Amino acid sequence: MHVFLLISFLSVAVENMKHFIIFFSWLIFSTCIEKPDPYMSDIYVFAKGADVSWLTEMEANEKKFYNNAYTKSEACIKLGISDNKTNFVNVGRYATQKNQLFLIDLFAEMIERRKDVHLILVGSGSMEADIRNRINDLAINNYVSMFKSDTDIPLVLAASDYFILPSIYEGFGNVLIEAQAAGIPCFASDVCQPEPNLGLIYYIPLSRGAKYWADYILDKIEKLDNRKIELKRLMEYDTSNVAKRMQQVYLHGIKYEDGDTRWGTQ
């Protein structure tokens, strides 16, 4: 009996500690990002890294991105969507944070102005049913395609023209790095961090509402022809560089921002 009670107590304690750690980690992260404090100057937020080793400067300048990339037409055929529309994509968990319901609303506004647009959603999560219901309520089923989270992302990006990320809050936003590496201009909420911007992110205030977003994006793409990225900055987020810098942080106590191993500095 005593053993059972002890095990029960420890189970509750561990579960509560887990929630405490999650909350405390979120509190520190939020403070560092949104409310810088001089006493927390030794806390840094860094990217988890992305594999961009396939990209070269020549390829970037010639707009040839994934070394095994499909053409847009090939990718659309494989995904079962039309290749003669302007495709917008969102990749992420179906969760309140990612704000897909707002995305559906703004896309419905876009359809009011243009019928040659299509939205690709890739993900899974607790809000999937809500998202599908919103699509049904707005009667835009023919304009939206939803794919599972294990869908081949390079294939999806090859089929896409623009990326939309209207998150309510966001950490680093690794998906923005991946989209830009594929030469895709991105429209992101103004709560997204500026660090991932390699030259192809356009920030829009969430407070302006769905119609403003729709009008801004449609007006912007009418005159948007830049798909070049800052290759030097992109390579900072390659997994090989991130790993080396983190190694210096853990083994030598060097600040992440000073551990620039690409140029041989310590």
pLDDT of residue 35: 42
Q: Are 105 and 90 in contact (CB under 8 A)?
A: no
Domain 57-232 CATH (choose: 3.40.1160.10, 3.30.750.24, 3.40.50.2000, 3.50.50.60): 3.40.50.2000
Question: Which residues make up the CATH 3.40.50.2000 domain(s) of the chain?
Answer: 57-232
Q: Are 51 and 237 in contact (CB under 8 A)?
A: no
CA distances from 96 to 20, 99, 134 (A): 21, 5, 14
pLDDT digits (tens, 9 = 90+) for 126-180: 999 999 999 999 999 999 999 999 999 999 999 999 999 999 999 888 899 889 8
pLDDT digits (tens, 9 = 90+) for 1-35: 443 334 443 443 444 444 443 444 443 344 444 44
pLDDT of residue 199: 87
User: Range with the lowest mean pLDDT among 116-130, 172-186, 251-265?
Assistant: 251-265
CB-CB neighbours of 129 under 10 Å: 9
pLDDT digits (tens, 9 = 90+) for 51-92: 554 444 434 443 444 444 689 999 999 999 999 999 999 999
Instruction: Tell me how far apart the alpha carbons of residues 14 and 9 are, in angstroms, rounded to a whole number.
Output: 9
**Beta-carbon-side half-sphere exposure of residue 23 (alpha carbons within 13 Å):** 6
More confident residue, 140 or 260: 140
Q: Alpha helix (H) ranges present in 51-163?
A: 57-61, 72-79, 100-113, 128-137, 153-159
Provide the token pair at 29: 């992260």
Instruction: Tell me how far apart the alpha carbons of residues 8 and 151 are, in angstroms, rounded to a whole number.
Output: 41
Residue 234: pLDDT band (50, 70, 90) is: low
Angle at CA 161, nearest 5°, toward 158 and 162?
Answer: 120
Mean pLDDT computed over 84-104: 97
pLDDT of residue 190: 95
Biggest CA pair distance of the chain? 74
Provide the token pair at 107: 């896309």
Provide the token pair at 141: 């089923």
**Residues of the chain above pLDDT 90, percent:** 51
Instruction: Tell me how far apart the alpha carbons of residues 238 and 51 are, in angstroms, rounded to a whole number.
Output: 5
